[in-house]
Amino acid sequence: MIKGGWVREKLLGQKSNDVDVEVLGESVERVEERLASTFGGNVFRRGQRVPILAVHNFGGPELQVVVRREGDDLLHANYTCNALRYKLRVVKILSAT
């Protein structure tokens, strides 16, 4: 799922410079492999408690991927547009409220 600022900017009709993605039900290693083979560029691991993978590919937006259980991040999000998620296959905007 795409989450955070990209969803807000899509709703406002604006362009985003980065994309934050939440991946559910996969290992960090598997997601890392898929990112490298799909996007190329460089994949970096960030974060201590929550695995975050960052993809830097020159000429495109920065992609940050968080691997965790669904909804964990929404418990800590403020209740603004940052708590929205965009489900890619369903094309539906979800809110924690």
Domains of the chain: residue spans and CATH:
2-95 (3.30.460.10)
Residue 89: other Cβ atoms inside 10 A: 6
Closest CA to 23 of 97, 89, 81, 92: 89
pLDDT (0 to 100) of residue 91: 47
Residue 95: pLDDT over 70: no
Residue pair 86/2 in contact by the 8 Å Cβ criterion: yes
- The answer to whether 94 and 77 have CB atoms below 8 angstroms apart is no
CB atoms within 10 A of CB 83: 19
pTM (2 d.p.): 0.56
Closest by CA position to 66, among listed 51, 44, 56: 51
